[in-house]
Amino acid sequence: MSGRGLRAGLVGLGHMGRHHARALRALNGVDLVAAVDPAGDPHRIADGIALFTDLDDMLRHGIDYAVLAAPTSRHTELGLRLAAAGVPTLIEKPLAPDPESARRLVDAYRTAGLPAAVGYTERFNPAITGLRARLQNGLLGDVFDISTRRAGIYPARIADVGVIHDLATHDIDLTADLTGQRYTSITTRTAHRSGRPHEDLLAAIAQLADGTIAQHRVNWLTPAPERIIVVTGEHGSLIADTIAASLTWCSNGASAPAADHPAYRGVAPGDIIRFALQPADPLLGEHRAFQAALLGQGNEGACLEAGLHAVLVAHTAAASASTAHTMPVALA
């Protein structure tokens, strides 16, 4: 791969394919040379590059890696074919529609020894990269709780899944990534308020392996979009807004122990600081991270194992909603 730009192929020319094509064309050291979609190219994404309707034809054209942006229902079939052909792949989230399919993809790329990642773009939002850095430097101390709110209007292009698999997996992935902990159990409730077959509202509470509590509220019913993550720990709270790309620190001020509860540490209002963040394109950051992985320079993106864990948690969340019970999350 040295001595020339990496030749990238794009699988899927729909809504997400358009965005991935833009990011690929903006990457230094990468050439978008081919795309494939059995439906053709109605949005004229593939202008100036080779366009195919069959994956095998694109593979014969010659690519160094692929971006898989086809519908989730086709991830398993197409991903397995790319792995068998020896093509490193960045797979749009979620990794697969069910745990068994996700496991097959993890095994296929692992066996082939190929770099692969899942496209959880929010990891590269400036608010999240700033939050991650401050967690790593110990600003919060011990983390007690992570609460997320993700809401907006229903996207008409989504027809095969509800908010759990489409939206909540972002928050599941962010929570696991920021804490370095896997989910061990989850309790959920869902609602169907808009007349569609899949859930459009989710309320969930979960526990992570180290005892941290996670809470997620997700819906397609709010006219004002919202994407907030609040991490609370012994020294205060960090509040990230990924729409505004902002990060706010609310510190725990000093307070004397209560006379009747001398062991209770308590909290008190402290300083509130809004950090200055450098603007960045999260999708371009995701692509740069995968490019670095291809060049052997590390991988800051979501590995396939992380993608599998998100699918397992989402699958368990759906099961909990149908049974009204707390459910354990299976190990990968």
Per-residue pLDDT tens for 5-56? 899 999 999 989 999 999 999 999 999 999 999 999 988 999 999 999 999 9
State yes or no: pLDDT of 60 exceeds 90: yes
Burial group, residue 185, by CB count within 10 angstroms (0-12, 13-18, 19+): middle
Residue that wins the pLDDT comparison between 119 and 194? 119
pTM over 0.85: yes
Q: Residue 265's pLDDT band (boundaries 50, 70, 90)?
A: low
Q: Where are the beta strands (DSSP E) in the chain?
A: 6-11, 30-36, 50-52, 65-68, 89-92, 116-119, 143-153, 183-191, 201-208, 213-219, 221-233, 236-241, 246-252, 269-274, 327-328
The 10 Å CB-count burial string (b at 16+, else e) for 143-174 is: beebbbbbbbeeeeebeebbbbbbbbbbbbbb
Q: What is the pLDDT of residue 239?
A: 98
β partners of residue 219: 151, 201
State yes or no: pLDDT of 324 exceeds 50: yes
C-alpha 198/C-alpha 204 separation (Å) is 16
Show the tokens assigned to 146.
């992570």
Q: What is the pLDDT of residue 26?
A: 96
Q: What is the pLDDT of residue 169?
A: 96
Q: What is the pLDDT of residue 37?
A: 97
